[in-house]
């Protein structure tokens, strides 16, 4: 396959950056790089452009480094909160990915960041606090704190004695009440009042006895 050399005037993924001199297939250069203005043929006239392109690339990269450095300092101080749905057992449905974090940055902070710059060893599957690495620039890597919380947490069951929970039944008065009943039951009944004997009535017609002379 025929090869040709070109000078890149823009960054091309997996190929090179601005001002790089690269060798590619003739068809790739003719059908893609040259028509889209991503490169120019390597010839005497274009060689003189290399230095100008290099200077422009250096200025752009320096500006990008400064911008990413400032952004990294700001993000390292913040915590991004992501809400997820959970089951009754508190386990997450699905996972939090670098795309989820990129969306949260855009929604919460209006920071548009390519998800490829958010490095995760593996998706997040648990609630709580996590730390991910932001690779904002080849020379700028900062940590980002991510808190994953449930959007539908299970209601907590109040414990006895806790503020706002129903008061525990007071058993002391019941014990006293039972004690009172016991005391009353044990107390002997008062004896019935003694019946008074009816007074003897004198026979009618008899007066008081008089002493004999």
182 SS3 class = helix
Q: What is the mean pLDDT of the chain?
A: 80
Residue 143: its pLDDT value, please? 95
Same domain for 41 and 78, yes or no, is no
The domain in which residue 19 lies consists of 3-47
> How does pLDDT run across 48-106, given as a tens digit for each residue?
888 888 888 899 899 999 999 999 999 999 999 999 999 888 889 889 999 999 999 99
pLDDT above 90: percentage of residues in the chain: 49
Residue 192 predicted with pLDDT over 90 = no
In a domain, 107, yes or no: yes
Residue 184 lies in a domain: no
Give the CB-side neighbour count of residue 41, counting CA atoms within 13 A.
10
CATH number at residue 124: 3.10.430.100
Domain shared by 34 and 99, yes or no = no
**Sign of torsion, CA 47 49 51 55?**
negative
CB neighbours (10 Å) of residue 168? 9
If you average pLDDT over residues 183-190, what whole number do you get?
48
Do the domain assignments include residue 192? no
């Amino acid at each position: 396959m025929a090869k040709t050399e070109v000078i890149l005037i823009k960054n091309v993924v997996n190929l090179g950056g601005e001002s790089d001199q690269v060798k590619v297939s003739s068809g790739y250069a003719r059908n893609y790089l040259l028509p889209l203005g991503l490169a120019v043929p390597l010839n005497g006239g274009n060689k003189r452009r290399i230095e100008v392109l290099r200077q422009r690339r250096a200025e752009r990269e320096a500006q990008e480094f400064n911008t990413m450095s400032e952004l990294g300092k700001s993000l390292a101080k913040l915590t991004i909160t992501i809400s997820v749905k959970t089951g009754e057992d508190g386990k997450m449905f699905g996972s939090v990915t670098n795309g989820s974090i990129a969306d949260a940055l855009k929604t919460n902070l209006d920071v548009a960041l390519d998800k490829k710059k958010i490095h995760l060893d593996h998706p997040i599957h648990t609630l709580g606090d996590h730390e991910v690495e932001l690779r904002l620039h080849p020379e700028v890597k900062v940590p980002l704190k991510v808190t994953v919380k449930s959007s539908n947490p299970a209601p907590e069951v109040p414990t006895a004695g806790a503020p706002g929970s129903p008061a525990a039944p007071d058993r002391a008065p019941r014990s006293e009440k039972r004690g009172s009943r016991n005391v009353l039951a044990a107390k002997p009944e008062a004896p019935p009042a003694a019946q008074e004997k009816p007074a003897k009535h004198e026979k009618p017609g008899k007066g008081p006895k008089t002493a004999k002379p």
